[in-house]
Homo-oligomer: A and B are copies of this chain.
Amino acid sequence: METVLMRDIVERVLEKIQKERTIPVEASGRHVHLSRQHIGQLFGEHYQMTKKKDLSQPGQFQCNERVTLIGPKGVLQGVAILGPARDRTQVEVSISDARVLGIAPPVRESGHLDGAGSIYIAAEKAVIEARESVIISKRHIHMTPADAARFDVKDRQIVSVRVKGERSIVFEDVVVRVNDAYRLNMHIDFDEANAAGFCPGVVGEVIL
């Protein structure tokens, strides 16, 4: 009797520990964040972007409007625009996308745009050149300070995350980003999602 009870307790504790170290994973497709100025040039002065749907990070949303990316070797049409407007235009593509476009942007964290790639962006009103705007997004985890305390990690810490799918992978070099305004989520791109055989609903397990 006691052995069974003990085993039951151990199993429940292990399950709880396991659950507490898992993170929802989302695959982000190619998208652009536009500056106020670029929105004006691409869609018309004082144009107000319209919301299609909210995203997992509070305050972030996808717009109904879309743009075309034009590179030296190829074009990507119907690329999503995420709002709200940012100080600088930022274009996030996968390495597969970059190869189609014919560019080789660096792997970077969001907002780190010095030395980023350049691309032409087309919409109804214009084609603009967005210099130093294109990055391959470095995989990252958004979390609140409470999450960080629970995972025992700090802002900007590099961790590894196992994503168990049909093609299980341990992603090393995952940067943790801690902010009160975030919601717990790991973001990978479609190359990474495909490499892991990722399906929506699969979670990541943090390995320190």
Contact = CB atoms under 8 A, between A and B. Distances in A.
A95 B194 contact: yes
B170 A96 contact: no
A167 interface: yes
A96 B194 contact: yes
Interface string A142-166: 0000000000000000001010001
Given A160-B170, A190-B191, 19 more contacts: A94-B194, A95-B194, A95-B197, A96-B96, A96-B190, A96-B194, A162-B172, A167-B173, A168-B172, A168-B173, A169-B170, A169-B171, A169-B172, A169-B195, A170-B172, A191-B194, A191-B195, A192-B194, A195-B196
A194 B194 CA distance: 10
Interface string A164-208: 001111111100000000000000001110111100000000000
A109 to B, nearest CB: 13
Interface of A: 94-96, 107, 138-139, 160, 162, 166-173, 190-192, 194-197
Contacts of A173: 167-168
B197 A195 contact: no
A17 B172 CA distance: 23
Contacts of A95: 194, 197
7 cross-chain pairs, A with B, having the tightest CB-CB distances, nearest first: A195-B195, A95-B194, A191-B194, A170-B170, A168-B172, A192-B195, A191-B195
18 contacts: A94-B194, A95-B197, A107-B197, A138-B167, A162-B172, A167-B173, A168-B172, A169-B170, A169-B171, A169-B172, A170-B170, A170-B172, A191-B191, A191-B194, A191-B195, A194-B195, A195-B195, A195-B196
Contacts of A196: 195
A77 to B, nearest CB: 13
Contact of A167 (B139, B166, B190, B197): B139
